[in-house]
């Protein structure tokens, strides 16, 4: 299925005429090197929740990967521009690169970033400081290169290549995606538009659940990042979970629907609650408790400031009826429990089934046992 993109300028309405759309003319980038340069300048052209760590990275078999990035889970993203390669060749080459990336140690990725930061004179000279600045998490809190994703950047792909990408995702759980860019002109102005072949959240999910898999048990994992943006005591008292600070965190809340069960983990602290979702995701500014906006309640969190943030960084809320919850000081943690930086995910590993059953055992002796 070929993806076509278009942009229309809406001319202002006059007192006697309605607003009229005018389609902008397509334009050409000078070459894909220019697109690579634009991505290096601002990775949000691809995904604002990625951290670039390498450009033209030389592999052990003397090839060069166009771009390497990390997400907040430590997953490595291999980004390859189609350039003058045939569609099928670029898919095969990207998979070949992934086979090499999978062998990299933490130190290799650290060295890769140091070289990238030096060449581009970045303000953060070490991967530790860059990761903390980007995601608000110490690099030591994630497992680097436990998974990887592949992204092909192109203006178009043929139908057979799209079928190959879909087959690898659907049948084999390979996290490979394609993103399409088109350029448009409007007088002296030029614009760039982007369209993903597959929802990036789906590729992200495949990457973080690779390896030994089993059928999903229907239970959702939630990572509740208790920091200056959110307070677990508030979430317990008022019945909600939340995420924000970037679309990478907040978009996964869309996976939840009324009636879903969620198990909540505070990273570096432990599991603190289980509950049933009672509504859809909404901006924090729209969330009320008995008619009173959350922004008007006393809290150590400045909810008014969060509600005033732009849509892509503001906090989003999902209402929850708690079946069982404990203060953070009573969180349950032990070796072998599932953990992930995604705000919400549907784990398909044996470790997740073990985690749910273990929490049921631990909390079965409480006043409100979970069954």
Q: Please give the pLDDT value at position 208.
A: 64
User: Within 10 A of 325 (CB to CB), how many other CB atoms are there?
Assistant: 21
Which residues of the chain carry a pLDDT beneath 50?
1, 365-367
Tokens of 22: 């005018």
331 touches 272 (CB < 8 A): yes
Which class is domain 27-208?
alpha beta
Domains 27-208 and 219-363 belong to one CATH topology: no
Stated length of the chain: 371
pLDDT score at 16: 63
Structure tokens at 142: 């994630």
DSSP string over 175-213: -EEEEEEEEEEETTEEEEEEEESS-HHHHHHHHHT-SS-
CB 324 within 8 A of CB 371: no
As given in the structure block, the two tokens for residue 98 are 């992934």
Q: Domain boundaries in the chain?
A: 27-208, 219-363
Q: What is the pLDDT of residue 2?
A: 52
- Residue 290: partners with Cβ closer than 8 Å, 6 or more residues away: none
Q: What is the pLDDT of residue 179?
A: 86
Structure tokens at 26: 């397509």
pLDDT at 48: 86
CATH of domain 219-363: 3.10.590
pLDDT tens-digit series, residues 40-80: 999 988 888 899 999 999 999 889 999 999 998 889 999 99
pLDDT at residue 366, rounded to an integer = 47
């Amino acid at each position: 299925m070929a993806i076509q993109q278009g942009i229309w300028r809406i001319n202002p309405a006059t007192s006697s005429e309605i607003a009229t759309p005018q389609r902008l003319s397509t334009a050409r980038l000078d070459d894909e090197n220019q697109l690579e340069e634009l991505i290096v300048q601002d990775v949000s052209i691809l995904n604002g929740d990625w951290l670039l760590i390498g450009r033209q990275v030389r592999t052990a078999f003397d090839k060069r990967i166009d771009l390497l990035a990390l997400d907040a889970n430590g997953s490595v993203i291999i980004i390859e521009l189609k350039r003058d390669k045939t569609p099928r060749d670029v898919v095969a080459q990207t998979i070949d690169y992934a086979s090499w990336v999978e062998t990299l140690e933490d130190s290799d990725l650290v060295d890769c970033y140091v070289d990238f930061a030096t060449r581009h004179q970045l303000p953060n000279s070490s991967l530790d400081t860059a990761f903390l600045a980007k995601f608000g998490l110490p690099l030591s809190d994630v497992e680097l290169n436990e998974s990887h994703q592949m992204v092909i950047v192109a203006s178009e792909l043929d139908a057979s290549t799209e079928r190959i990408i879909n087959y690898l995702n659907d049948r084999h759980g390979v996290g490979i995606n394609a993103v399409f860019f088109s350029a448009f002109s409007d007088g002296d102005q030029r614009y760039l538009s982007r369209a993903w072949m597959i929802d990036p959240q789906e590729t992200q999910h495949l990457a973080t659940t690779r390896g030994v898999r089993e059928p999903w048990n229907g239970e959702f994992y939630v990572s509740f990042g208790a920091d200056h943006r959110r307070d677990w005591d508030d979430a317990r008292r008022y019945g909600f979970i939340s995420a924000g600070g970037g679309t990478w965190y907040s978009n996964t809340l869309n996976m939840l629907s009324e009636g879903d069960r969620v198990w909540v983990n505070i990273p570096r602290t432990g599991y603190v609650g289980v509950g049933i979702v009672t509504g859809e995701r909404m901006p924090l500014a729209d969330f009320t408790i008995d008619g009173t906006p959350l922004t008007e309640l006393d809290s150590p969190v400045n909810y008014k400031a969060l509600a005033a943030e732009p849509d892509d960084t503001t906090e989003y809320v999902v209402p929850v009826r708690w079946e069982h919850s404990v203060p953070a000081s009573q969180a349950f943690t032990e070796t072998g429990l599932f953990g992930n930086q995604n705000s919400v995910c549907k784990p398909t590993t044996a470790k997740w089934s073990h985690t749910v059953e273990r929490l049921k055992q631990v909390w079965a002796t409480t006043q409100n046992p979970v069954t």
